[in-house]
Amino acid sequence: MADPLLEIRDLKVTFRTDDGLVRAVDGVSATLYEGETLGIVGESGSGKSVTMMSVMRLITDPNAQFEGEVIYKGTNLMGMSQDQIRSIRGAGIGMIFQDPMTSLNPVYKVGWQIEEQILEHEKVSRRAARDRAIELLTAVGIPNARDRAGAYPHQFSGGMRQRVMIAMAVSCNPDVLIADEPTTALDVTIQAQILGLIKKLRQDFGTAVVLITHDMGVVADMADRIAVMYAGRIVEQGTQRDLFYDPQHPYTWGLLGSIARLDRPRPRRLAAIPGLPPSLMRLPAGCAFADRCAHKFDRCAELPELLDRLGTGHLDACHLSRQDKQDRRDRTVHPELVEERP
């Protein structure tokens, strides 16, 4: 495989609070290669957004402390000044946020907001930037783009706003696009439109995508490789097939089992994961998932490392033996196939 485009090396992000140190991201390493889509899956508070916000150096909280490196095309972004990072943001790495209402400026016309970004990064005339903005709006499927460029964000529906965000994110042809829950606020039919659009852009421009989501269905549709995060750490990482057809970590099993799926017979009960994620201020010394895990045993008191336990590049952080995992997995992931529905 080619050189990595973006490499995160042992990233740690902590926040100092009155109540103690919050370990939001605790040693995350990941790589993104050219043209691929990396899915990052996890629940609220798992650190998936903080990780990518740190990569973009968007966390300005003075109480935040960072450790580790983020290498983008050979340079460490963590060592850059805010001025230097600005030339990368938008131009090299574009970002789409979850809520298109709060991430667009409500008092500027959308066309202007896209132009501004182009003018910031490239030496072009305002007229050229305007034409490019209209071209982009057309490309992301906004009908009548020339007129709509003069509209304000509130005059667009949620799906249309997200299209504007995407147009802005790709306006300077970034080679990495970070999409943080791009469809969570949208209805399923609109979600299908937006995911289709991201796929098309990926195809047309060869953009590499980091897709942050909590929806296993979305990564099944979009991602080449997937990292599952829990309590600030990656607990499993592998190709899309690895994760869905040979998941190794009990948390991944739990995630897969707790979805009410349309493609399977209806289980009598959903295999919910009991309990709550641990507080990031008081992470246990051992496996962070142990307290909620049905397969906990004495070794779980020591912290499991994210290792290639199968020798196939499929990493997981669970002490269970390979055989144990195989024996116990089906009951959790597909209870409907194991138990009889009365």
Partner 1 sequence: MTNSATELSVLDQGPEIAAGEVLLRADHVKKYFPIRSGILIQREIARVHAVDDVSFELRAGETLGLVGESGCGKSTLARCIARLYDITSGSVVFEGADISRYTRRQLRPVRRDLQMVFQDPYASLNPRKRVGAIIADPLRIHHAGTREQTRKRVLELLEVVGLSAEHVNRYPHEFSGGQRQRIGVARALALKPKLVIADEPVSALDVSIRAQVINLLDDLQDEFGLTYIFIAHDLGVVRHVSDRIAVMYLGKIVEISPAEELYQRPVHPYTEALLSAVPVPDPDLSASRQRIVLEGDVPSPIQPPSGCRFHPRCRYATEICRTEEPPLVPHGSLGHLAACHHPLSAGPDQLEADQLDATAGDAALASSSGSL
Interface ranges with partner 1 (CB under 8 A)? 43-44, 157-160, 187-193, 195-196, 214-218, 220-221, 240-241, 244-245, 254-263, 266-267, 269-274, 276
Give the nearest distance from C-beta 276 to partner 1 in angstroms. 6
Give the nearest distance from C-beta 165 to partner 1 in angstroms. 16
Give the nearest distance from C-beta 308 to partner 1 in angstroms. 21
> In terms of CB distance, is 116 or 242 closer to partner 1?
242
> In terms of CB distance, is 117 or 248 closer to partner 1?
248
Parallel/antiparallel/unpaired status of strands 93-96 and 176-180: parallel
Give the nearest distance from C-beta 228 to partner 1 in angstroms. 12
Give the nearest distance from C-beta 119 to partner 1 in angstroms. 30
> In terms of CB distance, is 152 or 244 closer to partner 1?
244
| Local structure of 38: helix, strand or coil | strand
What long-range pairs does 117-125 form, CB within 8 A, spacing at least 24? 117/90, 117/168, 117/171, 117/172, 118/171, 118/172, 120/86, 120/90, 121/87, 121/90, 121/91, 121/172, 122/172
* Distance in angstroms between the alpha carbons of the first and the last residue of the chain: 50
> In terms of CB distance, is 120 or 224 closer to partner 1?
224
Give the nearest distance from C-beta 62 to partner 1 in angstroms. 25
237: nearest Cα among 304, 289, 315: 315
Distance CA 175, CA 2 (A): 14
Q: Residue 322, exposed/middle/buried by CB under 10 A (0-12, 13-18, 19+)?
A: exposed
Give the nearest distance from C-beta 102 to partner 1 in angstroms. 17
> In terms of CB distance, is 111 or 277 closer to partner 1?
277
Q: Which residue has the tokens 């990396």?
A: 38
> In terms of CB distance, is 34 or 43 closer to partner 1?
43
Distance CA 178, CA 212 (A): 8
> In terms of CB distance, is 103 or 240 closer to partner 1?
240
Q: Which residues contact 96 (CB under 8 A, 6 or more apart)?
A: 162, 165, 166, 169, 177, 178, 179, 180, 182
